[in-house]
Amino acid sequence: MDSQHSRQQASRCMELAEATRSARLKNLLIAEAEAWNSLAEDQDWLEQRIVERRSREALAIFPTIRAMLAARSNPPPSRRER
């Protein structure tokens, strides 16, 4: 289950809440939609942390890539400086 699925569930809960006549059921469905949206936000946060961790691990495994990226962050010297 991913964040997109959780957002779809939240949307469905809101659709049902809008269609119901019962105030009690409406409140329950809205609360459930909020819970699904909160779960989606948490899933997004976790997925972002995974991507960041994998990036750090890749740089640790491949020191040549790290060195190349560091070299690119500094502009090359001008011809006069060489």
Out of 11-15, 19-23, 55-59, pick the least confident.
55-59
Count Cβ atoms below 10 Å from residue 37 Cβ, excluding itself.
18
φ, ψ of residue 28 to 5 degrees: the values are -65, -45
Q: Where along the chain do its domains lie?
A: 3-73
For the chain, how are helix, strand and coil distributed in percent, rounded to 5? 80, 0, 20
The 3-class SS string of 30-48 reads HHHHHHHHHHHHHHHHHHH
Predicted confidence (pLDDT) per residue in 30-77, tens digit: 999 999 999 999 999 999 888 888 877 766 666 676 666 776 666 656
Assign 78 a pLDDT band (cuts: 50, 70, 90): low
